[in-house]
Structure 1
Amino acid sequence: MSLIHPTALIDPAAELDSSVGVGPYTVIGPHVKIGAGTTVGAHCVLEGHTTIGRDNRIFQFNSLGAIPQDKKYAGEPCELVIGDRNTIREFCTFNIGSPGDRAVTKVGNDNWIMAYVHLAHDCLVGNNTIFANNSQLAGHVVVDDWVILGGFTVVHQFVRIGAHAMTAMCSLLFADLPPFVMCQGQPAQARSMNFEGLRRRGFSPERVSAVKAMHKALYRDDLKLDDAIERIRGLTERTPEAASDVAMMLDFLGQMSPQRGIVR
């Protein structure tokens, strides 16, 4: 039995592995490539220069690869690249990149993306993230691995979200959110660190303790940011097991935009 429904409209130039399933009334354009084991539900539109990896599950009513919502866009061959083993639920919209930036919107592997999520042009999403319903990313947003976005989270353009961070429902992010931080509010404010998430991912007690110390330096001891960074830098000597976690935090803070700052 064919895995492609007879009502699906697939351009002859599209490249689909023989194991790809396509539901009824889905439209797939000429520059789309889809890897083995991926399934695409009914009434989807996949267009643009879009590359989708293996074993993704794309539910019905998705729009992937449409042109960016950018008045400056003039038809350039920008891209959308989606990795492997992602779940993309209903009514999501992922746009291609724009020539004014990296020209690609990219989603990594093993992400769980719920209904009505929007990824604007030039967003970069890492691996193992969870985006709850109606999470909305403006252009040029970077989301690192293991991030969880609560429902109705809205992220301003050019904001970065560090690994293992988490937002509460209806959070509004105007500033960068450092790794491990949990935030809530409009605009978002730091509330704690994602300690339970870290334990579930196998962080040792020593590493969790170092994350607690970073939280204390950034948010509890009323330090200026430069002084907090210096205190965090010293954690490597006291807790060598957490050297990679400290390095990740310092790298993130070192790239902070003076215009945006961080959620504090």
Structure 2
Amino acid sequence: MAIRPDTQIHPSAIVEPGAELGQGVQVGPFCHVGEDVILADGVVLKSHVVVAGDTTIGEDTVVFPFSCIGEIPQDLKFKGENTKLVIGARNRIREHVTMNTGTEGGGGMTRVGDDGLFMAGCHVAHDVQVGDRVIVVNNAALAGHCIIGDDVIIGGLSGIHQWVRIGQGAIIGAVTMVTNDVIPYGLVQAARGELDGLNLVGLKRRGVSRVDISELRAAFQDLSRNTGGSFMERVKNLGENAQSDYVKQIVEFVTGETDRSFLTPKPGHRK
């Protein structure tokens, strides 16, 4: 067990032999850290936190009470193979959050990026890939194999179906079930997940120029028009004339590899 001199471990905590703890790590009361766990510099486990499996938690991440990080997947196909969970730096993982390791059939790794906020009770399932600066609100669940882009916000009590991709900068409203891919910067709401516009608030907050926002709005209107062609055909036509990098990103996302269909704008949409 590699423990630095400035590491703080509460007497009631259990740190298994083999665990690696970096500088300034704090392990609070009644925590349990498994033998294959790596806690980078500055990680804080508040109290009653379980970190199990082959799990790495990046520097300055804080894990709040009763979270269970790195346990085996909730997948009946899992047969005990060695898989991993890698969590990036400066994340805030609130109370009762669960994050599972990957499965052999899904690439063997669940990965979470940097600077995320995972609010109380949310779940990150096996083989999920989460980008940077993602916010998952209370009691939302990311099913297996999802890919969540940078700067995504997922509202409380929402569910993301397995294998779904959510593009960068999209926002999912509360109490929403998302069963198909969401384009970058999309706004999704309603009980069964409808693409209802663009995340204009998020774009403005990130300082995206008015020119780029105007280009995105025009592109969204083009995708909403009922011209007789398929959604994919409209996207490809959009790509032929796209000037904005943000519009090009939507085109690349839609024409990329996926196992799901897409949420599409309703004809005549005006947002």
CA drift of 1:247 comes to: 2.4
Structure 1 runs of 4+ off > 4 angstroms?
none
Identity, in percent, stands at 36
Report the Cα offset of residue 226 of structure 1.
3.1
Q: Is the 8 A contact 1:32 1:50 kept in 2?
A: yes
Aligned counterpart for 2:231 among listed residues 225, 229, 232 = 225
- For 1:230 and 1:107, locate their aligned partners in 2 and report how far apart those are by CA, in whole Å: 31
Runs of 5+ consecutive residues of structure 2 not aligned to the other structure: 1-5, 265-271
Deviations 1:128-180 (A, max 9, x none): 11111011011000000000001111011000000010011101011011111
**TM-score normalised to structure 1 length:** 0.94
Task: Tell me, in whole angstroms, the C-alpha distance in 2 between the residues paired with 1:105 and 1:132.
Answer: 19
Kindly state the Cα deviation for residue 55 of structure 1 after the two structures are TM-superposed: 0.6
Match of 2:3 in 1: none
Distance in 1, Cα, partners of 2:226 & 2:138 = 35
Distance in structure 2 (CA, Å) of the matches to 1:194 and 1:9? 44
TM-score using structure 2 length: 0.91
CA distance in 1, matches of 2:123, 2:134: 14
Give the corresponding residue for 1:255.
256
Larger mean Cα displacement after TM superposition, 225-234 or 190-199:
225-234
Counterpart position of 2:101: 96
Paired residue type of 1:36: D
Check the 8 A contact 2:156/2:174 in 1, yes or no: yes
1:12-71 deviation per Cα after TM superposition (whole angstroms, max 9, x unaligned): 210001310111000000000011111011111100000111010111110000000111
Q: Is the 8 A contact 2:7 2:23 kept in 1?
A: no
Question: What do you get for the CA RMSD once the two structures are aligned?
Answer: 1.4
Instruction: Tell me the distance in 2 between the aligned counterparts of 1:112 and 1:235.
Output: 37
The answer for the alignment partner of 2:210 in structure 1 is 205
- Local SS of the residue matching 2:29: coil
SS of the residue 1:64 aligns to:
strand
After TM superposition, give the deviation of residue 4 of structure 1 in Å.
1.4
* Structure 1 position 185, deviation (Å): 1.7
SS of 1:100's partner is: helix
